Structure 1
Amino acid sequence: MVNQFDEFSVVPAVTTTPLPASAIGISTDARLQYLFDNTPAIIYSSVPTGDFKMTFVSNNALHVLGYHPDEMVADPNFWFEHIHPSDVPEIFSSIAKLFTEGERAYEYRFMSRSGQYVWMHDMLRLIRDKDGNPVEVVGSLTDITKRKEMEAALFKKGEEQHLLIKKLQEAHEQLLQSEKMASVGQLAAGIAHEINNPIGFINSNIGSLQNYVEKLFEVINQYEDLIQHQSPPAAVSKMDELKEKADLEFLKEDIQDLVRESMDGLKRVKEIVQSLKDFSHVGETDWQEADLHQGIDSTLNIVKNEIKYKANVVKEYGQVPLVKCIISQVNQVVMNLLVNASHAIKENGMIKISTGCEKDMAWIRVLDTGSGIPQENLNRIFEPFFTTKPIGSGTGLGLSLSYGIIKKHGGRIDVQSVVGKGTCFTVWLPLYQTKASTES
């Protein structure tokens, strides 16, 4: 095979100084040699066979890798023997594509004369003759070590940032949970009162039922004694007397009322406990299609005692499909709005909760007839730790975290307020979530 670069392989290396003016008339071969030796890339050629023996290497290989071109050409296995062992399999597995595609590019580590590996970018091109037969492979090797070092540094920085973001997310989740628990803690007295009421009358009812059961068993025992020892006419007469004395008709009616009332009380306790469980669920981060109305009702069970002595709650639920969200976090937002509304009402007010759907957005509106928010505070209500409540009455994080939760869901919170008339918060939530948003 005739190599078009063979005549250059014996040309001595030249310096990288500019060509003098007197060299304008130099030959084309010398000009090409000068370009080869002074380009940043090492220009080479090899045979188009499996061993890829080098047939030409530009003289700047000495500056880039420390090898003289002659020794690289003399050793038929020079190229493969100096590639990092970990990079060889990837090159071997795809080098055959050079003969079908005509071009290939690789990035691999190549051992320099100093024994250190240098990252190289290798562009290979297959040269064919006029009949389409492979003649040789021409390539250019460029030192990309600095670029690789920068990429490694950026990757490390990216990993550090990813770890930092993960820690921030964990801290945010802990903050959400802490605020949730703080809210429940502030409502604990009211929740205990809501539970104690049904527990109290259930306890009283159980005492009455115990007395009733004792009377019934006493009557039954006396009935059995009469049946065994007296004649039927006398027994019947005596039974009527016992029945009237024990007031069985009253016992029958009252037992039914006591059982029904106790069952209602137990149901109320169960609802409150379930609402607390749903609201305070630790680590709930699952996106799911949820019923917003069920979530609002569950939250109302928790804040009921906080509201009922101040305001009448009016519910106006519209037609809202299931919404893709983290329902426990949405419930936390609703609770914050309801508690704030109750705190804004001194007495005899109203809190109206309404819902609806517009296009691809669901909305929850909490309107109160409270004192309203002054204009100078309206622009600050979503700031962390901003609060107008007395010390110890709030963390100042409720609305800030609520804003973050809804923003995470791809929604928004609108607020309108008139001092002396009341405030209206509207939470907007997209019905659907993209895969990217749920993974963030």
Structure 2
Amino acid sequence: MEFEDFDFITSEAPARASEPADPLQRLKYLVDNTPAIIYSTVPSGDFKMTFVSANALNVLGYRPEEMVADPNFWFDHIHPDDAPNIFSSLAQIFSEGERAYEYRFRRADGRYLWMHDQLRLIRDAQGAPLEVIGSLTDITDRKQMEETLLQAQNMASIGQLAAGVAHEINNPVGFVTSNIGTLKSYADTLFELVEHSTSAEQRRQADFEFMKEDTAALLRESMDGLRRVRDIVQALKDFSAAGESQWQMADLHEILDSTLNALASELRFKIRVEKHYGKLPPLRCLAGQLHQVFRNILLNAIQAIPEQGVIRIVTGGERDGVSVRIQDNGTGILPDHLGRVFDPFFTTKPVGSGTGLGLYLAYGIVQKHGGRISVISEPGKGTAFTVHLPLRAEPI
């Protein structure tokens, strides 16, 4: 992983003990080396910055002099989605004396950092506004942890909801399936009796042949619909088990098929799925968590295909293990991004459209199984993720 190079600001070393320390020099040293960016602005109009501490270069990549020179620098670098809330309430600082905001601020490299901004109004001896003093603190890590925790809580809630819905749907689906099976048996018997006890003319007048064929078709479609509902219920049950900690022997193809069923609405009318399943032995695994791995990879593949496309799933046996390759013909991944796809919070999606945690979580689950996951991609041609798993994984 590459690290950015910054020209870190250093201050002169404090004076030797035998020499009196310059209070202003000491204050400058403290301000320049505090984690927060200290700044001041005029208390009106565009709140033009009049001072910015030197550590702005380390945190944001801007030199203080360029921030002070541009009268609109602060406003122009706040994320457009966050700016209206700040602008609409900023004037309250004159009545309240201080304000605090959390917003995204654009770094010199184009990335946005979450910042906590604490502003305080300074007045002169007569009470007139003199300046606004602020401190900007990078809280990106905290925000990302909050987002991760929120997602985990949401996933747990959704899992509980899915389990409850699956249980409630299972009961009516069970007896309706049984009733339709019995109804089909009754219909077959009735049609057979009518066919042997009535004349050809009576059957013609009653449109007997159409009724017989249409009844069979209606029952067939109803049974197919119930099978689809049953598949959805099974997918919900699998999803609710995504956080399970029970190791078990499972059929990898059943896990893949369940995942595809859960994503049916995303795939329909857009993507053709080609399944090339090899012969695989049962796998010792956390089935619900592997479902989550394949779901995250498939979702990335779906989102990488802008219109119509193909996803190919290939499975096969390996020495002491199995492999699953999920390949799409979507937009592909840029070479500069390929090495970071498994990093936490890394995403190429627009701000607010993705957490950057899907592949990171998939990577962690595969590692927990003692396996590995790899990716190859070519921009404009597509991407292939390959998951390698041992047959009898030991909990890690």
TM-score by length of 1: 0.46
Alpha-carbon separation, structure 1, partners of 2:282 and 2:207: 54
- Evaluate the alpha carbon distance shift between residue 321 and residue 282 of structure 1 in structure 2; reply closer, same or farther with a 3 A threshold: closer
Q: 2:323 aligns with which of 363, 369, 376?
A: 363
Pick one of 255, 264, 269 that aligns with 1:309.
269
Cα distance in 2 for partners of 1:422, 1:179 equals 29
Change in CA separation of 1:184 and 1:423 when aligned onto 2, cut-off 3 Å: farther
AA at the equivalent of 1:253 = E
Among residues 334, 337, 352, which one is paired with 2:294 in the alignment?
334
Offset from partner CA, 1:55-78 (integer Å, 9 cap, x none): xxxxxxxxxxxxxxxxxxxxxxxx
Q: How does 1:180-329 map to 2 (within 5 A)?
A: 243-281=203-241, 283-329=243-289
**8 Å contact kept, 1:179–1:398:** no
TM-aligned CA distance change 1:174 to 1:359, over 3 Å:
farther
Q: Which amino acid aligns with 2:231?
A: E
TM, length-normalised to structure 2: 0.50
Amino acid at match of 1:296: L
Look up the equivalent residue of 2:331 and give its one-letter code.
S
For the 8 Å contact 2:242–2:289, the answer to whether it is kept is no
Structure 1: distance between partners of 2:302 and 2:354: 13
1:377 aligns with 2:343: no
Q: Are the counterparts in 2 of residues 279 and 328 from structure 1 also a CA contact under 8 Å?
A: yes
| Deviation, structure 1 residue 354 | 0.7
The one-letter code matched in structure 1 to 2:323 is W
Match of 2:371 among 411, 414, 420: 411
Q: Could you tell me how far apart the structure 1 residues matched to 2:153 and 2:255 are?
A: 17
Note the C-alpha offset of 1:316: 0.8
Counterpart of 2:361 in structure 1 is 401
Does residue 1:344 correspond to 2:299, yes or no?
Answer: no
Q: Provide the rounded CA distance (Å) in 2 between the counterparts of 1:384 and 1:241.
A: 75
More helix by share: 1
Counterparts in 2 of 1:116-195, with a 5 A limit?
178-179=154-155
- Paired with 1:173 and 1:310, the residues of 2 have a C-alpha distance of 33
The CA RMSD measured in Å over matched residues stands at: 3.6
* 2:245–2:286 contact (8 Å) kept in structure 1: yes
- Alignment partner of 1:365: what SS? strand
Say if 2:360 is the partner of 1:431. no
Amino acid at match of 1:245: Q
Aligned-pair CA distance for 1:243: 4.1
Change (3 A) 1:390 1:173: closer
Alignment of 1:389 onto 2:349: yes
Q: Partners in 2 of 1:345 and 1:275 — Cα distance?
A: 23
Aligned residues: 225
- Does the CA-based 8 Å contact 2:242-2:287 persist in structure 1? no
Residues 178 and 360 of structure 1: CA distance in aligned 2, closer, same or farther (over 3 Å): farther
The share of aligned pairs that are identical, in percent, is 51
- In 2: Cα distance, 1:377 partner to 1:341 partner: 16
Task: Evaluate the alpha carbon distance shift between residue 181 and residue 276 of structure 1 in structure 2; reply closer, same or farther with a 3 A threshold.
Answer: same
Q: Distance in 1 between matches of 2:220 and 2:367?
A: 46
Secondary structure of 1:315's partner?
strand
d(CA) in 2 for partners of 1:180, 1:310: 30
What letter is aligned with 1:353?
I
Distance in 2 between the 1:324 and 1:306 partners? 29
Question: Structure 1 residue 280: deviation in Å?
Answer: 2.2
Which secondary structure does the structure 1 equivalent of 2:344 belong to?
coil
| Alignment deviations for residues 151-197 of structure 1 (CA, whole Å, 9 cap, x no partner) | xxxxxxxxxxxxxxxxxxxx999965745877999xxxxxxxxx9xx
Note the alpha carbon deviations across 1:317-362, whole angstroms, 9 max, x for none. Answer: 1122111110110011001111110110112321110111211121
CA distance in 2, matches of 1:173, 1:429: 28
Structure-2 separation of matches of 1:181 and 1:427: 28
Structure 1: which amino acid aligns with 2:347? T
Q: Tell whether the 8 Å contact from 2:373 to 2:388 is kept in structure 1 after alignment.
A: yes
Residue pairs, 1:88-103, within 5 angstroms: none
Q: Distance in 2 between matches of 1:362 and 1:402?
A: 17
Which SS does the other structure have where 2:370 is aligned?
coil
Distance 2:290 2:342 in 1: 16
Distance 1:331 1:250 in 2: 45
Query: How many angstroms apart in 2 are the aligned matches of 1:378 and 1:426?
Result: 14
- The amino acid that maps onto 1:325 is C
Q: Return the offset for 1:393.
A: 3.4
Question: Is the alpha carbon distance of 1:250 and 1:282 closer, same or farther for their aligned partners in structure 2, counting shifts above 3 Å?
Answer: same
Check the 8 A contact 1:176/1:401 in 2, yes or no. no
Q: Which amino acid aligns with 1:365?
A: R
How far did 1:267 drift? 0.8
CA distance in 1, matches of 2:289, 2:319: 23
In the TM superposition, what whole-angstrom CA distance separates every residue of 1:370-411 from its partner, at most 9, and x where no partner exists? 111111211221122221223453322111111111111111
Letter in 1 for 2:250: A
